[in-house]
Chains A and B, each alone.
Chain A
């Protein structure tokens, strides 16, 4: 069984300059307990993909189309409001980029975790509070009682992100969507939070989708990685194999731009050009205008995501 099963997902937003396609025919899946990283530049459609699975985008203006969009076997395309509310937070939980703005400023952390628990299970307020305290202790918060009674503005970003994770765990979700969970944090805190997410994932045996623009984050936390560009999947495979032998020119370019990966004093290689304008995407492969090895065919036809080795796939005419 697949926990997350997306086939041919398209997400678009009508704008004055035309229909902006944030995601253009994306296919991916996550097995129970598996961790998947979605890597890409900003605007590649990775966050929108997560929001679309949980149907968190405002529709309209957003338009979602997919051949398949399933979460734990439920067809999310057809889920109604009540069904969505019962799945969010319990089957699938999500943590966000900026913990400072993710909590309601006028309620305590304890209140906000307890209300999440009570939204999904019939427990009393005091039981929910006691549970919230346990959860805070599980995310390695040293003084859970004090944090429980704190308002968001009284806590640091790292502390709030821990509380956010505790809140996400409150109904033992089968999958956790983590949308750039460390981008807004201090570098020293980032490693702690990633370590925590990894430990918690193993402890709870849940699936994980880690959205990030940082290949370093992916290397530390996930088993498998999907590389996105221009709203499409460029390459997919086990994280170590991708790092060792990237097949797609875009992935290769991305890896070439990480400092410290190549031994010796070598100049980093940047990817020339700019990300495609989602209102007017290039024809054919979205990467071809910036690709060092593009052929005439790349501008004409879109290469499909095709398997070329066990557990690996790439969308490139040169790889097939």
Chain B
């Protein structure tokens, strides 16, 4: 197991390197630079001076090495769009709202979705199943900005219970979190339903019934444990995907989160912020997959003890 984990860590390092090269090249392959915008017309000499100050006149590989050298020392540079702070300071300011939004959304949406999916699978082809599936499909197909608008209309405009936007007090968090929670809920519900049904149709479930095990034990010990094998590899990475929040939900409710910076850093050629965001998200996904693969191996004796399926 330790060998396996060490091997995986090495491959994460390689992934990190490859992603950094590709993203760096793509970033610079886009024509234009940070000072080409029309809102900030500067003369050619000034532009050359600014570029030289930021080291943007050097060959690409030198720029790359300079930046990555900083990254290894946890220095992600200074964002062009907010030169008064470092990239890390900007992230420290903008990430928490996104984390709260995404984290709370998943913590509320995932258990609800799992329960919904279980209820649907255990009552398949009944009205419970149809209702849960319809609910999940709606959650996936209605764009989140429409959900947001409806929540604002009902709870802020008609009922006047909650503020329509902002991020000041905790009660202003409720609507964006609810809007966001519909996405993980719907996704988890669909995955849980299909994973459970898949196991329920296996012959060993009939055997468990034939040997007189109570249905409750069959479901909670055997079916859930087997279904979780299929679920764990999907759910953990999905969890990480939410850590960056949602650009749309943040925009709808005017949450001062990270979402807007993802867009603006690309638009404004804010190279240090763009690189930092992508590298950090890459690392988070790599570790999420590593953890879910370890969890999968621990849950599945066929992997733990070697030897494939016969």
Contacts and interface: CB of A to CB of B under 8 A. Distances in A.
Contacts of B217: 115, 119
A156 to B, nearest CB: 8
Contact of B213 (A85, A94, A101, A154): A85
B207 A106 contact: no
A104 B212 contact: no
Interface string B198-235: 00001110111111111101000010011001000000
A102 interface: yes
B229 A106 contact: yes
Nearest to A153: B302
Contacts of B215: 81, 85
A12 interface: no
Interface residues of B, number: 27
Contacts of B225: 104, 106
Nearest to B203: A101
A102 B310 CA distance: 13
Contacts of B310: 100, 153
A107 B66 CA distance: 53
How big is chain A's contact interface, by range? Answer: 35 or more
Nearest to B308: A153
A89 B206 CA distance: 12
A120 interface: yes
A68 to B, nearest CB: 22
A139 to B, nearest CB: 16
Contact of B211 (A81, A89, A98): A89
A167 B211 contact: yes
B307 interface: yes
A51 to B, nearest CB: 8
B302 A89 contact: no
Interface in B160-204: 202-204
Contacts of B208: 104
Contact of A154 (B211, B226, B305): B305
Interface string A78-113: 000110111111100110101011111111100000
A103 B207 contact: yes
B310 to A, nearest CB: 6
B301 interface: yes
B305 to A, nearest CB: 7
B299 interface: yes
Nearest to A84: B212
B309 interface: yes
Interface in B281-310: 299-302, 305, 307-310
A119 B309 contact: no
Interface in A193-246: none
A105 B310 CA distance: 11
Given A105-B301, A105-B302, A153 B214 contact: no
18 contacts: A56-B206, A56-B209, A82-B214, A88-B210, A89-B211, A93-B211, A101-B202, A104-B208, A105-B204, A105-B301, A106-B301, A116-B213, A119-B214, A151-B301, A151-B302, A153-B307, A154-B305, A171-B212
Interface of A: 54, 56, 81-82, 84-90, 93-94, 96, 98, 100-108, 115-116, 119-120, 151, 153-154, 164, 167-168, 171
